[in-house]
């Protein structure tokens, strides 16, 4: 296949022939991907029915109307009158027969301990857990928190709750009591599945104690089911608390068919201000969208071993459980972090467990690249078939490092962007060549577009707002008990159009690029950009391992660029260092975007899935309140940046100083 200018990978004829997209196109009698994409936009009912056929989503009662848009785009209903359950497509399909003895979950702890469950063993644990939870009164519509590290029991807990028809509340395993209470209280949770502790960087982190503290503020909470993980035994409240392995024995709890649009989970997102927003995902919608994204766009197969080091509290946690178990693939879980107890732990896990499908984000890539090329070179990574990423924009330097040193320059690195509310909107699919850090098109059926402030499509090379002109299957069915807030948050700015909150652009060849959150906009002298472009210019110098660019108030220009950067090992923080970074930004973006301040710091504030929280950086530099810090894995980074900014340890780059 011929490569467009700038592309570095193209699928071989053998790769295309074996792809899931090719099987889908043949099943629908289509000549090619472009024909399919055009038809998906023109006839979404055909497209989503075809996806359901290909995924083979089982229905206990068939749907009569695929898509009901009578209440308007924000409130589209899918598979009306149909009944199903996500557990029917996953564990129930594979626990017996050909996949029964196949690994379902392979777990490695931070201490090197390994546990493997087959599909038959996972099925038995789901049975036992569902029976015990049903005996406690958990059933259809019961909101239940899932507050656990990435261990096999988290998978069993997710599937058992789905089987019973409970509404799952995935909770970040690093949450403290306040963040737990906010989310559990908002959902009026009746139970929590929790670990007594988790192991992180060699230290036991209590979790049950945080639940106990949160429970004082959640009067609806009646039960806490506790998994023994080790360390000091937590206090147990009689009547409320139950050990995971000693739940009351109840009658059989078979999978309960539910209305197709019954809530499966409520995934909370955090904003700069206000309460977290609970995005609602349904049984049929979540499965259909997950399999479109992973089985088709990412080519996940039953033979794959999938590793994506994330957290149950981020959407990728539930997504990978659903994707792997629906296909009968093996899900590889690793508790802890990718660089502890040894810097190259991620590559060792890939080699040890023969991972074929690796998920990682740009920040993880930059973190591992800091260890040097010897890390991946020391391990046999030949099992990798492809890698995928999401969470934040790539810089080309980090993308190419993964492509060359992890994937050998021969296997694809696929990009994926969207959010908790919708899953994916744009992606790199395996049928087309790839340019570094790009997406080779929108996901079919999404109605994705890039528009200006008035909602008009922008031409190639122009940065605009990422939107959807359709309401695809799998997008959130509102915010939990807050319909007005849902409309105000996503549908009010451009009537009839979903405004996602990301800046994007596309080039003349049709490749798309994400430039960061539109609420992180940097606008100077009438020019507007996302921070990712500024950060990429600094990262390309090789002088910094990480960077965050934000806009600060300026008495003359209205706004000015300020940057917090993490220097590479051994790099001095001096005038020459800051001048080189400033000049690199000016050369790439123009003089208007030359930073007015560059602050060298030890770390940037990150979520557990390693997304940089720029609003927290901005608050630290301005002295404003930082908003919700509950999702940060390193809240101390905020205080460190704030203190460094207050002491004036870094001023404007020399080349930006007057005179």
| Contact criterion met (CB below 8 Å) for 272 and 627 | yes
Residue 659 pLDDT grade (very low, low, confident, very high; cuts 50, 70, 90): very low
pLDDT at residue 472 greater than cutoff 90:
yes
Least confident of 23-37, 316-330, 564-578, 596-610: 596-610
> Which pLDDT band holds residue 648 (cuts at 50, 70, 90)?
low
Count H helices and E strands in the chain, helices first.
21, 30
Sign of dihedral through CA atoms 567, 568, 569, 570?
negative
Is the pLDDT reported for residue 153 higher than 80? yes
Q: Exposed (0-12), middle (13-18) or buried (19+): which is 641, by Cβ within 10 Å?
A: buried
Cα–Cα distance measured from residue 577 to residue 581, given in angstroms and rounded to the nearest whole number: 7
17 to 32, 387, 430: CA distances (angstroms): 12, 19, 11
Judged against a pLDDT cut of 80, whether residue 129 lies above it is answered with: yes
Q: Are 122 and 95 in contact (CB under 8 A)?
A: yes
More confident residue, 172 or 220: 220
Fold adopted by 88-103+119-283: Rossmann fold (3.40.50)
In the structure, what pLDDT confidence band is assigned to residue 150 with cuts at 50, 70 and 90?
A: very high
pLDDT at residue 273 above 50? no
Question: Is the CATH number 3.30.300.30 carried by domain 526-656?
Answer: yes
**Local confidence band at 1 (pLDDT 50, 70, 90 cut-offs):** low
Tell me the average pLDDT across 408-412: 97
- Residue 451: pLDDT above 90? yes
pLDDT at 275: 73
- Residue 609 reports pLDDT greater than 70: no
Contact between 513 and 438 under an 8 Å Cβ cutoff? The reply is: yes
- Angle subtended by helix axes 283-291 and 44-55, to nearest 10: 80
Q: Are strands 464-468 and 448-451 parallel, antiparallel or unpaired?
A: antiparallel
Compute the mean pLDDT over every residue in the chain, rounded to the nearest whole number.
Answer: 91
Q: What confidence score (pLDDT) does residue 371 get?
A: 85
Task: Please spell the DSSP secondary structure of 31-66, one letter per residue.
Answer: S-HHHHHHHHHH-HHHHHHHHHHHHT---SB--SEE
Residue 656 has a pLDDT of 41
Q: What percent of the chain has pLDDT over 70?
A: 95
Beta strands of 158-288 (E only): which ranges? 167-170, 191-195, 197-200, 203-206, 223-227, 241-243, 258-259, 263-269, 277-282
Residue 658 is predicted with a pLDDT of 31
Distance of CA 29 to the CA centre of its chain: 33
Q: What is the pLDDT of residues 234-267, one digit of tens each?
A: 999 999 999 999 999 888 999 999 999 999 999 9
Reported as a single tens digit per residue, the pLDDT across 86-113 is: 999 999 999 988 999 999 999 999 989 9
CA 612, 613, 614, 617 torsion-angle sign? negative
Q: Print burial letters for 236-275: b (CB count within 10 Å at least 16), e (below 16).
A: eeeeebbebeebeeeeebebbbbbbbbbbbbbbbbeeeee
pLDDT at 166: 98
pLDDT at residue 272, rounded to an integer: 42
pTM (two decimals): 0.86
537-568 pLDDT tens trace = 899 999 999 999 998 887 656 678 999 999 99
| Structural tokens at position 493 | 């700015």
Q: Given a cut of 80, is residue 216 above it in pLDDT?
A: yes
pLDDT band per the 50, 70, 90 thresholds, residue 651:
very low
Distance between CA 440 and CA 99 in Å, rounded?
34
Q: Tell me whether residue 280 is exposed, middle or buried, using C-beta atoms within 10 angstroms of its C-beta: 0 to 12, 13 to 18, 19 or more.
A: buried
Query: Under a CB-based contact definition with an 8 Å cutoff, are residues 480 and 407 in contact?
Result: no
How far is Cα 180 from Cα 530, in angstroms, rounded to an integer?
Answer: 32
Report in angstroms the alpha-carbon separations of 341 from 161, 203, 452, 474, 605: 33, 11, 47, 38, 22
What does 397-429 look like in DSSP terms, one character per residue?
A: HHHHHIIIIISTTTS-EEEEEEETTTEEEEE--
Q: Which tokens is 631 given?
A: 């999702």
Using an 8 Å Cβ cutoff, are 601 and 545 in contact? no
Query: What residue spans of 59-118 are helical by DSSP H?
Result: 86-89, 91-94
Residue 253 structure tokens: 């709890």
- CATH 3.30.300.30 in the chain is located at 526-656
Per-residue model confidence as pLDDT tens digits over 482-514: 999 999 999 999 989 999 988 899 999 999 999
Q: Does 588 have pLDDT greater than 60?
A: yes
Mean pLDDT computed over 275-294: 95
Q: What confidence score (pLDDT) does residue 113 get?
A: 94
Q: Range(s) for CATH 3.40.50.980 in the chain?
A: 88-103+119-283
Taking 70 as the threshold, does the pLDDT of residue 305 lie above it? yes
Instruction: Find how far residue 19's CA is from the centre of its chain.
Output: 24
Q: What is the pLDDT of residue 593?
A: 81
User: What pLDDT was estimated at residue 655?
Assistant: 45
């Amino acid at each position: 296949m011929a490569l467009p200018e700038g592309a570095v990978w193209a699928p071989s004829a053998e790769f295309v022939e074996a792809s899931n997209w090719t099987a889908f196109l043949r099943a629908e009698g289509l000549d090619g991907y472009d024909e399919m994409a055009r038809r998906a936009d023109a006839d979404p009912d055909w497209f989503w029915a075809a996806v359901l056929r290909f995924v083979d989503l089982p229905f206990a009662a068939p749907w009569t109307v695929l898509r009901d848009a009578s209440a308007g785009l924000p409130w589209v209903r899918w598979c009306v009158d149909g009944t199903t359950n996500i557990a029917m497509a996953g564990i129930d399909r594979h626990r017996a027969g050909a996949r029964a003895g196949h690994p379902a979950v392979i777990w490695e702890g931070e201490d090197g301990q390994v546990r493997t469950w087959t599909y038959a063993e996972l099925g038995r644990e789901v049975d036992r857990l569902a029976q015990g939870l049903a005996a406690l009164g958990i059933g259809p519509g019961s909101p239940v928190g899932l507050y656990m590290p990435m261990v096999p029991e988290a998978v069993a807990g997710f599937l058992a709750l789905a089987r019973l028809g409970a509404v799952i509340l995935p909770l970040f395993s690093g949450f403290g009591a306040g963040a737990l209470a906010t989310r559990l209280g908002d959902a009026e949770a009746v139970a929590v599945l929790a670990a007594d502790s988790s192991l992180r960087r060699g230290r036991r982190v209590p979790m049950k104690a945080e639940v106990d503290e949160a429970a004082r503020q959640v009067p609806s909470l009646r039960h806490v089911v506790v998994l023994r993980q080790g360390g000091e035994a937590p206090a147990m409240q009689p009547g409320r608390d139950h050990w995971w392995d000693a739940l009351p024995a109840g009658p059989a709890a078979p999978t309960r068919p539910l209305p197709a649009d019954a809530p499966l989970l409520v995934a909370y997102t955090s904003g700069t201000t206000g309460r977290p927003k609970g995005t609602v995902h349904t049984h049929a919608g979540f499965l259909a969208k997950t399999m479109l994204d992973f089985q088709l766009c990412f080519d996940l197969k039953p033979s794959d071993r999938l590793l994506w080091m994330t957290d149950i509290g981020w959407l990728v946690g539930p997504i990978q459980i659903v994707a792997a178990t629906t296909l009968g693939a093996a899900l590889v879980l690793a508790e802890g972090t990718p660089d502890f107890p040894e810097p190259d732990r991620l590559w060792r896990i890939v080699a040890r467990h023969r991972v074929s499908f690796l998920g990682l984000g740009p920040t993880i890539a930059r973190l591992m690249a800091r260890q040097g090329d010897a890390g991946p070179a020391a391990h046999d990574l030949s099992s990798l078939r492809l890698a995928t990423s999401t969470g934040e924009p790539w810089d080309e330097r980090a993308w190419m490092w993964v492509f060359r040193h992890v994937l050998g320059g021969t296997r694809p690195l696929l990009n994926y962007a969207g959010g908790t509310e919708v899953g994916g909107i744009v992606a790199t699919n395996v049928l087309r060549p790839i340019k570094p850090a790009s997406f080779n098109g929108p996901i079919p059926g999404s109605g994705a577009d890039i528009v200006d402030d008035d909602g008009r499509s922008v031409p190639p090379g122009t940065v605009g707002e990422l939107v959807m002109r359709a309401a695809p299957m799998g997008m959130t069915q509102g915010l939990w008990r807050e319909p007005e807030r849902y409309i105000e948050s996503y549908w009010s700015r451009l009537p009839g159009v979903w405004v996602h909150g990301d800046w994007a652009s596309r080039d003349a060849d049709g490749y798309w690029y994400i430039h960061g959150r539109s609420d992180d906009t940097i606008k100077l002298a009438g020019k507007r950009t996302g921070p990712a472009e500024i950060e990429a210019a600094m990262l390309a110098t090789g002088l910094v391992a990480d960077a965050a660019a934000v806009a600060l108030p300026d008495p003359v220009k209205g706004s000015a660029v300020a940057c917090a950067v993490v220097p590479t090992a051994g790099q001095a923080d001096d005038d020459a260092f800051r001048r080189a970074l400033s000049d690199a930004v000016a050369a790439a973006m123009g003089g208007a975007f030359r930073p007015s301040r560059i602050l060298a710091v030890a770390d940037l504030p990150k979520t557990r899935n390693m997304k940089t929280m720029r609003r927290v950086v901005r608050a630290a530099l301005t002295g404003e309140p930082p908003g919700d810090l509950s999702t940060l894995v390193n809240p101390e980074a905020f205080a460190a940046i704030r203190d460094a900014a207050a002491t004036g340890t870094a001023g404007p780059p020399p080349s930006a100083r007057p005179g």
